[in-house]
Amino acid sequence: MNRRNFLTSSLIAGTVAATESFLPTNIFSQQKEKSMPFTLPTLPYAHDALEPYIDTLTMQIHHGKHHQAYVDNLNKAVAGTEWESKSLEEILANISKLAPAVRNNGGGHFNHSMFWQVMKQNGGGMPSGELAEAINRDFASFDKFKEAFGNAGITRFGSGWSWLVSQHGKLVVCSTQNQDNPMMDIVEVKGVPILGMDVWEHAYYLKYQNRRAEYVGAFWNVVNWDEVAKRFASAK
């Protein structure tokens, strides 16, 4: 039995001396056991699930290396601050008050966590139900929406994201630089993102090289519209 378990079980049994639980060794062992607030979510499908549109090696590096680095660096950036115990959403809503490392890595963690979810094997097709109605209402047609969303990604200079955003049920398309997103208090177009497309070169370069527009075209084959619809419903 290690010291912590001994103390816990002794406390439960009511046999530990009153001073015992205040020993500094106990405090140190609790600090050591404390876990990092943010963790890498498991990919909801195999690395090769999005082939041939998004290749296996890109998925392995993108999720296992890039996203992991955002998580690790976010944990480092908030360590020892009041933000350590806050939710990621709360952090993003207050990002103007925080260091660039939190903005870059907090955004990176949020954006990628969402990105994996809004894609799936055998995805694509068209949305249905309330989401389809809202897209037709706010963009005139599904094709017009695809054009706007795709262009937002294609024309983003350098690295960034293309977003479909719900503003209290009204849908708009926008693009952000780097790892910014519509949840941040510093961006121009705010709201709840329900679909995001990563247009950083690390998202497509191994397969598509400089042909970003080709990657954007292929992206429509992996969109998980059920997940996007779920996010639209809960954002209202």
Q: Looking at beta carbons only, is 102 or 171 nearer to Mn ion?
A: 102
Q: Determine the Cα–Cα distance for residues 130 and 3; give it in Å rounded to an integer.
A: 56
Shortest Cβ distance from residue 107 to Mn ion (Å)? 11
Shortest Cβ distance from residue 67 to Mn ion (Å)? 7
Tokens of 61: 């590096």
Q: Does 227 bind Mn ion (CB under 5 A)?
A: no
User: Which one among 38, 70, 163, 200 touches Mn ion, defined by CB under 5 A?
Assistant: 200
Q: Does 198 bind Mn ion (CB under 5 A)?
A: yes
Of 29, 32, 27, 38, residue with least CA distance to 84: 38
Shortest Cβ distance from residue 132 to Mn ion (Å)? 28
Shortest Cβ distance from residue 70 to Mn ion (Å)? 8
Q: Does 180 bind Mn ion (CB under 5 A)?
A: no
* Site mask for Mn ion (CB under 5 A), range 117-136, x = bound: --------------------
Given the DSSP bridges, would you call strands 160-167 and 192-198 parallel, antiparallel or unpaired?
Answer: antiparallel
Q: Determine the Cα–Cα distance for residues 216 and 222; give it in Å rounded to an integer.
A: 11
Q: Looking at beta carbons only, is 7 or 63 nearer to Mn ion?
A: 63
Shortest Cβ distance from residue 106 to Mn ion (Å)? 14
Phi, psi at 103, each rounded to 5°: -60, -50
Which one of the spans 18-26, 31-39, 137-145, 196-204 is the region binding Mn ion (CB under 5 A)? 196-204
Which one of the spans 87-95, 170-178, 183-191, 194-202 is the region binding Mn ion (CB under 5 A)? 194-202
Q: Is 48 left (phi over 0), alpha (psi -120 to 50) or beta?
A: alpha
Tokens of 66: 């890039």
Q: CA dist 228 to 5, 95, 118, 191, 192, Å?
A: 45, 25, 6, 15, 11
Residues in region 202-221 near Mn ion by CB under 5 A: 203
The size of the chain, in residues, is 236
**Which residue has the CB atom at the shortest distance from Mn ion?**
198
b/e burial code for range 55-65 (CB count within 10 A of at least 16 → b): bbebbeebbee
Count of residues that bind Mn ion according to CB under 5 A: 3
Shortest Cβ distance from residue 9 to Mn ion (Å)? 46
Residues that bind Mn ion (CB under 5 A): 198, 200, 203
